[in-house]
């Protein structure tokens, strides 16, 4: 099993180091190859996603990714900024299905900004379409306006677009996931989020998801406008089981859902293509302000490694073992700064990683 390890920028190195230690403690035949990405790759190779890194990625069965980005690259032209690495990898590997679970661990229920009675037991899966929408739609660019209210002035434009097959495949992924979760005791419900009262793309989205839903009579199904979904997520988050939505709405709602759990530092994510190859990364970013200080929470990355074992490497038992080890260290009262509360033991990135290895 070959894994491309791309630590990236900021806290990326520390959290990926911790996850690699956990993977190596499993005693599985894993071959890890590390390559630079993001700002780190721009520094060493002049490009955030160099060909040498793409070769490592192409030769691997799965990608373990840290985080990219730093304010110091904000003035670079867009094509050289660290974020282009993650967008380029999604496109290159065809990673159209992004799974972002938002899970409230019982030990951390007090860490949420919402009342414990609203978030306790929360277990939502956001399925975000990841290779279409306004993120990748052409044409896009800048020009001088020839019409509209201010002709002759600078304007910029992006194109929101979705085709029927793109919507069909992400809808199937969401309904399949809902079915699997139902077998494990979840509600078995899909909420499709769009803006069909305004947008053409959402009109098609709604039509296609409704067609796919007909093939899943065992799964409850509803449509919701994105503004209402943003509100319901903080009003009554346990209303949701699986949410399926487009790239842009999914970007926004997944950050919102992550924060409900009180701990974006705990949340893993998987981005999959249709061949089962995936990129696994924490839901949070590179946090340059705390980089190198041994304070970042490595658990989201460790849990992403567990997702990698389950989704791409066919090792569900090893995945469950890691998830159990994470629950174990939380039960021991170990906390990094982001999830710390009175009566718990404050630990650093390395200590948290080592505790997971011990629990394993
Ligand atoms: C995410 C991030 C990315 C996105 C950025 C870094 C390009 O916010 O993975 O959610 O917008 O998709
Ligand atoms: Mg985002």
pLDDT digits 0-9 by tens, 96-110: 999 999 999 998 988
pLDDT of 272-307, one tens digit each? 999 999 999 999 999 999 999 999 999 999 999 999
Is the CB of 86 within 6 Å of ligand 1?
A: yes
Q: What is the reported pLDDT for 118?
A: 94
Annotated binding site for substrate: 90, 100, 128, 227
> What is the CB neighbour count within 10 angstroms for residue 273?
18
Confidence class for position 264, pLDDT limits 50, 70, 90: confident
Q: Nearest ligand, CA of residue 98?
A: 1
Spatial distance between the Cα atoms of 213 and 211, rounded to a whole number of angstroms: 5
End-of-domain residue from the set 260, 276, 293 = 260
Interval 29-60: pLDDT, tens: 999 999 999 999 999 999 999 999 999 999 99
Among the bound ligands, name the one nearest to the CA of residue 248. Answer: 1
Q: Whose CA is nearest to atom 10 of ligand 1?
A: 251
Sign of dihedral through CA atoms 319, 322, 324, 330?
A: negative
307 and 191 belong to one structural domain: no
Examine the domain organization and report whether 134 and 226 are in the same domain. yes
Angle at 37 between CA 46 and CA 42, to 5 degrees: 20
Active-site positions read 135, 195, 227, 251, 255
Ligand 1 pocket, 339 CB below 6 A? no
**What are the tens digits of pLDDT across the range 221-250?**
999 999 999 999 999 999 999 999 999 999
- The finding on whether 251 has its CB within 6 A of some atom of ligand 1 is yes
Q: What is the CATH number of the domain that holds 198?
A: 3.40.718.10
Structural domains counted in the chain: 2
**What is the pairing mode between strands 242-245 and 189-194?**
parallel
Supply the residue whose CA is at minimum distance from atom 4 of ligand 1. 251
In a domain, 106, yes or no: no
For residue 234, which of 99, 113, 140, 334 has the smallest C-alpha distance? 113
Q: For residue 192, give Cα distances in angstroms to 52, 176, 197.
A: 39, 14, 14
d(CA 8, CA 50): 12
E strands, 110-169, where? 123-129, 141-144, 154-157
- Domain closes at, from 235, 260, 285: 260
- Mean pLDDT score, 313-317: 96
pLDDT at position 323: 96
Q: Which domain holds residue 299?
A: 1-98+265-360
Give the Cβ contact number of residue 71 at 10 Å.
8
Model confidence at 111: pLDDT above 90:
no
**259 — pLDDT class (breaks 50, 70, 90):** confident
Residues having C-beta closer than 5 Å to ion ligand 2: 251
């Amino acid at each position: 099993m070959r894994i491309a390890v791309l630590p990236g920028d900021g806290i990326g190195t520390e959290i990926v180091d911790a996850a690699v230690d956990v993977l190596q403690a499993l005693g599985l035949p894993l071959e890890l190859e590390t390559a630079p990405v993001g700002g780190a790759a721009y520094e060493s190779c002049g490009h955030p996603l160099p060909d040498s890194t793409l070769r490592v990625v192409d030769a691997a069965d799965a990608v373990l990714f840290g985080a990219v980005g730093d304010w110091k690259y904000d003035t670079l032209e867009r094509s050289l900024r660290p974020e282009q690495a993650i967008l380029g990898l999604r496109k290159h590997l065809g990673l159209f299905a992004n799974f972002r679970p938002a899970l409230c661990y019982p030990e951390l229920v007090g860490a949420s900004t919402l009342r414990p009675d609203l978030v306790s037991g929360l277990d939502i899966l956001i399925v975000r379409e990841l290779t279409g929408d306004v993120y990748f739609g052409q044409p896009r660019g800048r020009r001088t306006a020839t019409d509209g209210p201010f002709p002759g002035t600078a304007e910029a434009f992006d194109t929101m677009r979705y085709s029927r097959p793109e919507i069909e495949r992400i809808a199937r992924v969401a309904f399949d996931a809902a079915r699997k979760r139902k077998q494990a005791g979840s509600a078995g419900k899909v909420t499709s989020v769009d803006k069909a009262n305004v947008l053409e793309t959402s009109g098609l989205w709604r039509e296609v998801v409704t067609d796919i839903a007909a093939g899943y009579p065992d799964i409850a199904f509803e449509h919701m406008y994105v503004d209402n979904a943003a509100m319901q997520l903080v009003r009554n988050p346990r209303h949701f089981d699986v949410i399926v939505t487009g790239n842009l709405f999914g970007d926004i709602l997944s950050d919102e859902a992550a924060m409900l759990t009180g701990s974006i530092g705990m949340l893993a994510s998987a981005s999959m293509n249709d061949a089962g190859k995936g990129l696994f990364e924490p839901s949070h970013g590179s946090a340059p302000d705390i980089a190198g200080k041994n304070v970042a929470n490595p658990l989201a990355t460790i849990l992403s490694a567990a997702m990698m074992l389950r989704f791409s490497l066919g090792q569900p038992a090893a995945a469950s073992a890691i998830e159990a080890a994470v629950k174990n260290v939380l039960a021991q009262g170990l906390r990094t700064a982001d999830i710390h509360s009175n009566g718990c033991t404050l630990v650093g990135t390395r200590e948290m990683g080592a505790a997971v290895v011990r629990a394993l």
